[in-house]
Homo-oligomer: A and B are copies of this chain.
Amino acid sequence: MKPTLQLDSHGRLRHLLTLEGLSSELLLQILDEAEIHDQALRGPDKRQATLTGRTVINLFFEPSTRTRSTFELAATRLSADVMNLQIAASSTSKGETLFDTLKTMEAMQADMFVVRHEASGAAHFFAEHAAPGVAILNAGDGRHAHPTQGLLDLFTIRRYKGPDSDCFKKLTVAIVGDVLHSRVARSDIHGLRTLGAKEIRVVAPPTLIPAGIEEMGVKVFHDLDAGLAGADVVMLLRLQKERMLGAFLPSLAEFHRDFGLTRARLAKLKPDTIVMHPGPINRGVEIGGDVAYGPHSLILQQVSHGIAVRMAVMSMILGEPRAPVRAKRRSRR
Protein backbone atom coordinates (compact mmCIF):
# COMPACT_ATOMS: atom_id res chain seq x y z
CA MET A 1 0.00 0.00 0.00
CA LYS A 2 1.21 3.50 -0.83
CA PRO A 3 -0.37 5.98 1.59
CA THR A 4 1.06 8.88 -0.39
CA LEU A 5 -1.28 7.89 -3.20
CA GLN A 6 -3.90 9.76 -1.20
CA LEU A 7 -2.33 13.19 -1.43
CA ASP A 8 -1.69 15.47 -4.38
CA SER A 9 1.55 17.33 -4.93
CA HIS A 10 0.34 20.15 -2.67
CA GLY A 11 -0.32 17.70 0.17
CA ARG A 12 -4.08 18.00 -0.23
CA LEU A 13 -6.41 15.05 -0.01
CA ARG A 14 -6.96 13.47 -3.43
CA HIS A 15 -8.35 10.04 -2.49
CA LEU A 16 -9.34 8.65 0.91
CA LEU A 17 -8.25 5.03 1.16
CA THR A 18 -6.95 4.60 4.70
CA LEU A 19 -6.18 6.74 7.73
CA GLU A 20 -2.73 5.17 7.87
CA GLY A 21 -0.10 7.75 7.03
CA LEU A 22 -2.38 10.78 7.15
CA SER A 23 -0.97 13.57 9.31
CA SER A 24 -2.66 14.79 12.46
CA GLU A 25 -3.02 18.19 10.77
CA LEU A 26 -4.98 16.67 7.92
CA LEU A 27 -7.15 14.55 10.25
CA LEU A 28 -8.00 17.60 12.33
CA GLN A 29 -8.69 19.65 9.22
CA ILE A 30 -11.29 17.04 8.19
CA LEU A 31 -12.83 17.06 11.67
CA ASP A 32 -13.01 20.87 11.65
CA GLU A 33 -14.64 20.86 8.23
CA ALA A 34 -17.11 18.23 9.48
CA GLU A 35 -18.07 20.47 12.40
CA ILE A 36 -19.29 23.07 9.92
CA HIS A 37 -21.40 20.51 8.06
CA ASP A 38 -22.76 19.03 11.28
CA GLN A 39 -23.95 22.50 12.24
CA ALA A 40 -25.58 23.07 8.86
CA LEU A 41 -27.42 19.73 9.04
CA ARG A 42 -29.42 20.98 12.04
CA GLY A 43 -31.45 23.42 9.95
CA PRO A 44 -34.46 22.40 7.86
CA ASP A 45 -32.66 22.96 4.54
CA LYS A 46 -29.77 20.51 4.51
CA ARG A 47 -28.71 21.22 0.91
CA GLN A 48 -25.73 23.28 -0.10
CA ALA A 49 -24.47 23.96 -3.60
CA THR A 50 -20.81 22.91 -3.16
CA LEU A 51 -20.78 20.00 -5.62
CA THR A 52 -23.48 21.10 -8.06
CA GLY A 53 -23.08 19.25 -11.32
CA ARG A 54 -20.45 16.86 -10.00
CA THR A 55 -21.12 13.14 -10.37
CA VAL A 56 -20.56 10.75 -7.47
CA ILE A 57 -20.97 7.02 -8.13
CA ASN A 58 -21.55 4.58 -5.29
CA LEU A 59 -19.85 1.43 -6.52
CA PHE A 60 -20.84 -1.28 -4.08
CA PHE A 61 -19.50 -4.77 -4.73
CA GLU A 62 -20.66 -5.81 -1.28
CA PRO A 63 -24.21 -4.94 -0.28
CA SER A 64 -24.58 -2.45 2.55
CA THR A 65 -27.77 -0.42 2.49
CA ARG A 66 -26.79 1.49 5.55
CA THR A 67 -23.32 2.60 4.55
CA ARG A 68 -24.46 3.37 1.03
CA SER A 69 -27.25 5.53 2.45
CA THR A 70 -24.82 7.70 4.37
CA PHE A 71 -22.66 8.33 1.31
CA GLU A 72 -25.73 8.90 -0.87
CA LEU A 73 -27.16 11.46 1.56
CA ALA A 74 -23.81 13.19 2.02
CA ALA A 75 -23.30 13.62 -1.73
CA THR A 76 -26.93 14.58 -2.36
CA ARG A 77 -26.83 17.26 0.34
CA LEU A 78 -23.75 18.71 -1.35
CA SER A 79 -25.91 18.87 -4.54
CA ALA A 80 -23.84 16.29 -6.41
CA ASP A 81 -25.59 13.97 -8.84
CA VAL A 82 -25.43 10.53 -7.23
CA MET A 83 -25.79 7.19 -8.95
CA ASN A 84 -25.90 3.88 -7.07
CA LEU A 85 -24.43 0.81 -8.68
CA GLN A 86 -24.70 -2.52 -6.92
CA ILE A 87 -22.41 -4.99 -8.60
CA ALA A 88 -22.05 -8.67 -7.79
CA ALA A 89 -18.45 -9.10 -6.75
CA SER A 90 -18.39 -12.55 -8.29
CA SER A 91 -18.82 -11.17 -11.78
CA THR A 92 -15.99 -8.69 -11.40
CA SER A 93 -13.57 -10.43 -9.13
CA LYS A 94 -10.76 -10.27 -11.60
CA GLY A 95 -8.65 -7.12 -11.73
CA GLU A 96 -9.26 -6.89 -15.45
CA THR A 97 -12.96 -6.39 -15.10
CA LEU A 98 -12.61 -4.08 -12.10
CA PHE A 99 -10.42 -2.00 -14.38
CA ASP A 100 -13.02 -2.07 -17.17
CA THR A 101 -15.73 -0.98 -14.74
CA LEU A 102 -13.60 1.91 -13.49
CA LYS A 103 -12.66 3.12 -16.96
CA THR A 104 -16.22 2.83 -18.27
CA MET A 105 -17.70 4.81 -15.43
CA GLU A 106 -14.89 7.36 -15.66
CA ALA A 107 -15.80 7.81 -19.30
CA MET A 108 -19.29 8.76 -18.10
CA GLN A 109 -17.57 11.79 -16.52
CA ALA A 110 -17.75 10.55 -12.95
CA ASP A 111 -15.85 12.73 -10.52
CA MET A 112 -15.76 10.42 -7.52
CA PHE A 113 -16.26 6.75 -6.81
CA VAL A 114 -17.30 5.54 -3.40
CA VAL A 115 -16.01 1.97 -3.42
CA ARG A 116 -17.04 -0.89 -1.18
CA HIS A 117 -15.50 -4.28 -1.84
CA GLU A 118 -14.95 -7.50 0.07
CA ALA A 119 -11.32 -7.66 -1.06
CA SER A 120 -8.70 -5.79 0.93
CA GLY A 121 -6.90 -3.41 -1.41
CA ALA A 122 -9.75 -2.90 -3.86
CA ALA A 123 -9.92 0.84 -3.18
CA HIS A 124 -6.14 1.11 -3.70
CA PHE A 125 -6.48 -0.70 -6.99
CA PHE A 126 -9.06 1.85 -8.11
CA ALA A 127 -6.96 4.79 -6.92
CA GLU A 128 -3.86 3.50 -8.70
CA HIS A 129 -5.72 3.25 -11.98
CA ALA A 130 -8.01 6.28 -11.71
CA ALA A 131 -7.58 9.07 -14.22
CA PRO A 132 -6.25 12.38 -12.92
CA GLY A 133 -9.12 14.36 -11.45
CA VAL A 134 -11.11 11.27 -10.49
CA ALA A 135 -11.28 10.61 -6.75
CA ILE A 136 -11.70 7.32 -4.88
CA LEU A 137 -13.35 7.12 -1.47
CA ASN A 138 -12.90 3.83 0.35
CA ALA A 139 -16.21 2.78 1.92
CA GLY A 140 -14.71 -0.40 3.34
CA ASP A 141 -12.40 -2.93 1.68
CA GLY A 142 -12.14 -6.41 3.17
CA ARG A 143 -10.41 -6.40 6.54
CA HIS A 144 -8.21 -3.51 5.55
CA ALA A 145 -9.75 -0.10 6.17
CA HIS A 146 -12.96 1.90 6.60
CA PRO A 147 -11.51 5.38 6.87
CA THR A 148 -14.74 7.42 7.02
CA GLN A 149 -15.89 5.24 9.92
CA GLY A 150 -12.57 5.94 11.62
CA LEU A 151 -13.04 9.67 11.05
CA LEU A 152 -16.57 9.75 12.40
CA ASP A 153 -15.38 7.88 15.47
CA LEU A 154 -12.64 10.47 16.03
CA PHE A 155 -15.18 13.23 15.47
CA THR A 156 -17.53 11.71 18.05
CA ILE A 157 -14.79 11.29 20.63
CA ARG A 158 -13.63 14.89 20.22
CA ARG A 159 -17.21 16.16 20.38
CA TYR A 160 -17.80 14.47 23.75
CA LYS A 161 -14.30 14.52 25.26
CA GLY A 162 -13.02 17.77 23.77
CA PRO A 163 -13.66 20.30 22.31
CA ASP A 164 -9.89 20.66 22.46
CA SER A 165 -8.16 18.40 19.92
CA ASP A 166 -5.56 17.65 22.58
CA CYS A 167 -8.22 15.66 24.40
CA PHE A 168 -7.03 12.46 22.75
CA LYS A 169 -3.77 12.58 24.68
CA LYS A 170 -5.60 11.99 27.95
CA LEU A 171 -7.78 9.14 26.74
CA THR A 172 -7.67 5.40 27.27
CA VAL A 173 -9.65 3.71 24.51
CA ALA A 174 -10.78 0.07 24.63
CA ILE A 175 -11.73 -1.56 21.33
CA VAL A 176 -13.77 -4.66 22.09
CA GLY A 177 -14.80 -7.62 19.96
CA ASP A 178 -13.90 -9.11 16.63
CA VAL A 179 -10.69 -7.21 15.96
CA LEU A 180 -9.47 -9.91 13.59
CA HIS A 181 -12.02 -9.24 10.83
CA SER A 182 -12.55 -5.58 11.55
CA ARG A 183 -11.56 -2.87 9.10
CA VAL A 184 -13.20 -0.44 11.52
CA ALA A 185 -10.76 -1.37 14.29
CA ARG A 186 -7.78 -0.84 11.99
CA SER A 187 -8.97 2.60 10.91
CA ASP A 188 -9.77 3.59 14.49
CA ILE A 189 -6.33 2.50 15.69
CA HIS A 190 -4.54 4.43 12.94
CA GLY A 191 -6.52 7.57 13.66
CA LEU A 192 -6.22 7.35 17.43
CA ARG A 193 -2.46 6.80 17.28
CA THR A 194 -1.93 9.75 14.98
CA LEU A 195 -3.94 12.00 17.30
CA GLY A 196 -1.88 10.78 20.26
CA ALA A 197 -4.32 8.67 22.29
CA LYS A 198 -2.77 7.86 25.70
CA GLU A 199 -3.55 4.15 25.52
CA ILE A 200 -5.26 1.97 22.94
CA ARG A 201 -6.44 -1.46 23.97
CA VAL A 202 -7.91 -4.31 21.99
CA VAL A 203 -10.07 -6.70 23.98
CA ALA A 204 -11.14 -10.03 22.54
CA PRO A 205 -10.71 -13.78 22.82
CA PRO A 206 -7.37 -14.92 21.34
CA THR A 207 -9.07 -16.31 18.22
CA LEU A 208 -10.29 -12.83 17.31
CA ILE A 209 -7.01 -10.95 17.72
CA PRO A 210 -4.77 -10.78 14.64
CA ALA A 211 -1.19 -11.92 15.11
CA GLY A 212 1.30 -9.11 15.60
CA ILE A 213 -1.25 -6.41 16.36
CA GLU A 214 0.98 -5.19 19.20
CA GLU A 215 3.15 -3.66 16.49
CA MET A 216 0.36 -1.17 15.87
CA GLY A 217 1.04 0.17 19.38
CA VAL A 218 -1.94 -1.35 21.15
CA LYS A 219 -2.24 -3.43 24.31
CA VAL A 220 -3.99 -6.77 24.05
CA PHE A 221 -6.50 -7.96 26.65
CA HIS A 222 -8.33 -11.28 26.73
CA ASP A 223 -10.38 -10.39 29.77
CA LEU A 224 -13.13 -7.82 29.36
CA ASP A 225 -13.15 -6.44 32.90
CA ALA A 226 -9.41 -5.90 32.83
CA GLY A 227 -9.62 -4.34 29.39
CA LEU A 228 -12.36 -1.93 30.39
CA ALA A 229 -10.83 -0.83 33.71
CA GLY A 230 -10.15 2.89 33.55
CA ALA A 231 -11.30 3.26 29.94
CA ASP A 232 -12.65 6.64 28.86
CA VAL A 233 -13.96 5.34 25.55
CA VAL A 234 -15.36 1.88 24.79
CA MET A 235 -15.59 1.10 21.09
CA LEU A 236 -17.54 -2.08 20.44
CA LEU A 237 -17.18 -3.91 17.15
CA ARG A 238 -19.94 -5.64 15.28
CA LEU A 239 -19.78 -9.41 15.37
CA GLN A 240 -20.40 -10.80 11.89
CA LYS A 241 -22.54 -13.58 13.23
CA GLU A 242 -22.80 -15.45 9.98
CA ARG A 243 -19.08 -16.07 9.64
CA MET A 244 -18.33 -16.49 13.29
CA LEU A 245 -19.94 -19.55 14.68
CA GLY A 246 -17.93 -22.69 14.84
CA ALA A 247 -14.76 -21.36 13.36
CA PHE A 248 -13.96 -18.67 15.90
CA LEU A 249 -16.51 -18.84 18.68
CA PRO A 250 -18.18 -21.59 20.64
CA SER A 251 -21.53 -19.72 20.82
CA LEU A 252 -23.03 -16.25 20.73
CA ALA A 253 -24.28 -16.65 24.28
CA GLU A 254 -20.79 -17.42 25.48
CA PHE A 255 -19.39 -14.42 23.62
CA HIS A 256 -22.01 -12.21 25.23
CA ARG A 257 -21.25 -13.57 28.67
CA ASP A 258 -17.52 -12.98 28.28
CA PHE A 259 -17.28 -9.97 25.95
CA GLY A 260 -20.72 -8.35 25.73
CA LEU A 261 -21.20 -4.91 27.22
CA THR A 262 -24.03 -5.24 29.73
CA ARG A 263 -25.49 -2.69 32.08
CA ALA A 264 -23.82 -4.41 35.01
CA ARG A 265 -20.39 -4.14 33.41
CA LEU A 266 -21.00 -0.56 32.39
CA ALA A 267 -21.91 0.35 35.97
CA LYS A 268 -18.36 -0.48 37.05
CA LEU A 269 -16.83 2.06 34.66
CA LYS A 270 -16.21 5.77 35.13
CA PRO A 271 -19.45 7.79 35.00
CA ASP A 272 -18.32 9.73 31.93
CA THR A 273 -17.26 6.69 29.91
CA ILE A 274 -18.68 6.83 26.40
CA VAL A 275 -19.82 3.78 24.44
CA MET A 276 -19.59 3.57 20.67
CA HIS A 277 -20.52 0.99 18.02
CA PRO A 278 -20.36 1.25 14.21
CA GLY A 279 -23.78 -0.39 13.84
CA PRO A 280 -25.89 -2.18 13.12
CA ILE A 281 -25.86 -3.63 16.61
CA ASN A 282 -26.49 -7.25 17.53
CA ARG A 283 -28.59 -6.88 20.64
CA GLY A 284 -27.64 -9.40 23.27
CA VAL A 285 -24.39 -10.29 21.55
CA GLU A 286 -21.78 -7.54 21.69
CA ILE A 287 -24.12 -5.12 23.46
CA GLY A 288 -27.27 -5.16 25.56
CA GLY A 289 -30.24 -3.26 24.13
CA ASP A 290 -30.46 -1.14 27.29
CA VAL A 291 -26.83 -0.11 26.91
CA ALA A 292 -27.25 0.70 23.22
CA TYR A 293 -29.95 3.27 23.98
CA GLY A 294 -28.64 4.18 27.45
CA PRO A 295 -27.08 7.43 28.62
CA HIS A 296 -23.46 6.46 27.85
CA SER A 297 -24.19 5.42 24.29
CA LEU A 298 -23.26 7.64 21.35
CA ILE A 299 -24.28 5.12 18.69
CA LEU A 300 -26.91 7.32 17.04
CA GLN A 301 -24.69 10.38 17.27
CA GLN A 302 -22.07 8.41 15.38
CA VAL A 303 -24.56 7.92 12.53
CA SER A 304 -25.29 11.65 12.39
CA HIS A 305 -21.61 12.53 12.50
CA GLY A 306 -21.00 10.06 9.69
CA ILE A 307 -22.96 12.24 7.29
CA ALA A 308 -21.05 15.37 8.31
CA VAL A 309 -17.67 13.65 8.04
CA ARG A 310 -18.46 12.26 4.59
CA MET A 311 -19.65 15.66 3.42
CA ALA A 312 -16.37 17.11 4.71
CA VAL A 313 -14.21 14.60 2.83
CA MET A 314 -16.22 14.92 -0.37
CA SER A 315 -16.14 18.70 -0.37
CA MET A 316 -12.44 18.84 0.52
CA ILE A 317 -11.60 16.53 -2.38
CA LEU A 318 -14.05 17.71 -5.02
CA GLY A 319 -15.18 21.11 -3.89
CA GLU A 320 -12.06 23.09 -4.64
CA PRO A 321 -11.32 24.49 -8.07
CA ARG A 322 -9.58 21.67 -9.91
CA ALA A 323 -9.91 23.13 -13.39
CA PRO A 324 -6.28 22.58 -14.47
CA VAL A 325 -6.25 18.95 -13.38
CA ARG A 326 -9.53 18.29 -15.12
CA ALA A 327 -8.50 20.07 -18.31
CA LYS A 328 -5.45 17.83 -18.46
CA ARG A 329 -7.55 14.72 -18.06
CA ARG A 330 -9.95 15.68 -20.80
CA SER A 331 -7.35 16.57 -23.36
CA ARG A 332 -5.85 13.12 -22.99
CA ARG A 333 -8.98 11.47 -24.26
A interface with B by C-beta (< 8 Å): 41-47, 52-55, 65-66, 69-70, 72-73, 76-77, 81, 83, 85, 87, 96, 100, 103-109, 111, 279-281, 283, 289, 293, 300-301, 303-304, 306-307, 321-323, 326-327, 330, 333
Q: Is the CB of B77 within 8 A of A108?
A: no
Q: With A303-B104, A333-B304 known to touch, is A54 a contact of B65 (CB < 8 Å)?
A: no
Can you name 28 A-B pairs with beta carbons within 8 Å?
A42-B326, A43-B326, A44-B53, A44-B321, A44-B322, A44-B326, A46-B81, A53-B77, A55-B73, A69-B85, A69-B108, A70-B108, A73-B81, A73-B109, A96-B283, A100-B281, A103-B293, A104-B279, A104-B300, A106-B300, A107-B303, A108-B303, A108-B306, A108-B307, A109-B304, A109-B307, A300-B333, A301-B333
Task: From the candidates B41, B47, B70, B300, name the one contacting A52 in the complex (CB within 8 A).
Answer: B47
A293→B129 CA distance, assembly (Å) = 13
CB A275 to nearest CB in B, in angstroms, measures 15
| Residue of chain B at shortest CB distance from A47 | B53
Q: Is the CB of A53 within 8 A of B42?
A: no
Task: From the candidates B69, B104, B293, B307, name the one contacting A280 in the complex (CB within 8 A).
Answer: B104
Q: Is the CB of A45 within 8 A of B41?
A: no
A43→B330 CA distance, assembly (Å) = 9
Q: Is the CB of B280 within 8 A of A66?
A: no
Q: Which of A108, A330, A333 has the most CB of B within 10 A?
A: A108
